[in-house]
Amino acid sequence: MEQNATELMLKGYGLTTAEFTYCMPDYIHVLNTFVWQEYDLAPDHPNLFKFIEFWQSELDGPLHSVRFSHRKMIAPGEWRNVVGEFTIN
């Protein structure tokens, strides 16, 4: 069953963004980049590693490097007490 983003975030998922740098299949000395984004669980990142395995087994361009970041989208709210009064004419 497909879950929406809010349900995933409430279960602890966060947004993982990965930048794949890979060699072009026909021009091995030319590097290109691909950006991938998916909701994933830190610190194991099962969706990211599943995608890397897919890349290595199914695609021709060998990976040069992978950089990724992970951010939980639902975090405790920030609260600050503001004391003041503004008069508008």
Write down the domain spans for the chain. 5-71
Distance CA 55, CA 61 (A): 8
Report which of residues 13 and 81 the model is more confident about: 13
Q: Which pLDDT belongs to residue 8? A: 85
Contact criterion met (CB below 8 Å) for 15 and 73: yes
Instruction: Say how many CA atoms lie within 13 Å of 41 toward its Cβ.
Output: 7
Q: What pLDDT digit, counting tens, does each position of 30-77 carry?
A: 999 999 999 999 999 999 999 999 999 999 999 999 999 998 876 555
Task: Please give the structure tokens belonging to residue 18.
Answer: 């990965």
